[in-house]
Amino acid sequence: MNLPKILSIYTLILLLSTIISCSEDNSTTDPPVPKEQTENPVTDEENESTTEEPKEKASEEEEVEESLEEEEEEEEEETTNNFGTIELSGDETSDVGTELVVGHIAVGRADLTGTEKSVILTDENTEITEEGPEPKNLDKGFVLIGGDDLNTDGTTSAEKDISMVIFIDGEEYRFGCAVPNSGNFIDCGADYNIDFDKKEIVFKETTVVNTDTEVTLTMNGTITWE
């Protein structure tokens, strides 16, 4: 066999072996998976569920906020004291208003009033501390001190009295009365009474006078404490 023929046969063998090896490689390789099969299609139901989740979370947050607001309102109602209201009538109600809502009360503070038979009434913004009433709102507030059995020690002729200051827009209106009338104080009236056993102070057509203008203010109402 001549050399050219041998070379051609050898070349043919190499070519065949290459083709066979390529075909074997192709047969062992997995066919490519179409993209449509590999991707997970999102259904309409899943889309709806994903859009509903934020809405549900938002509604839950709103419910929590509403419940917290309701709790805060309830706490405010519980912590706000209201021992009663004193109705006012007279010419100066255009300046001082027509009512005094009692928010704080202290009984028997001889260290502040000079007698244990005394009651201190203030508005909700004026706390009564160890140092005495501390007004926090001088635009609207009041401090009223009522005394009873004042003449037991013989130092005064008055049996009962009222000393009161009303704060309106930073201005003070001072009033007072005594039973019987004494000095610049007019008579409080026969039905003004402090009952320490019943724990109440009664204003019934009780009259106090403005110590500056001498204008009379009439008070009606019952204040009770525990």
What are 160-179's pLDDT values in tens digits?
Answer: 999 999 999 999 999 999 99
The band of 78, judged by pLDDT with boundaries at 50, 70 and 90, is: very low
The band of 75, judged by pLDDT with boundaries at 50, 70 and 90, is: very low
Note whether residue 73 is domain-resident.
no
Q: How many domains does the chain have?
A: 1
Which pLDDT does position 19 carry in this prediction? 47
- Evaluate whether 52 touches 74 at the Cβ level (below 8 Å): no
Tokens of 30: 């997995």
Bridge-based pairing of strands 171-179 and 186-187 is parallel
Note whether residue 148 is domain-resident.
yes
Q: Is 125 left (phi over 0), alpha (psi -120 to 50) or beta?
A: alpha
The band of 82, judged by pLDDT with boundaries at 50, 70 and 90, is: confident
Q: Lowest-pLDDT range, 22-26, 141-145, 152-156, 202-206?
A: 22-26
Note whether residue 70 is domain-resident.
no
Tokens of 109: 């503070």
Note whether residue 40 is domain-resident.
no
Question: What secondary structure letter does DSSP report for 154?
Answer: S
**In whole angstroms, what separates CA 85 from the centre of its chain?**
22
pLDDT digits (tens, 9 = 90+) for 19-35: 444 444 444 445 454 44
Note whether residue 174 is domain-resident.
yes
Name which of 210, 205, 130 is nearest 165 in CA terms. 210
Domain that holds residue 121: 80-224
pLDDT at 79 over 50: no
Note whether residue 63 is domain-resident.
no
Q: pTM for the whole thing?
A: 0.64
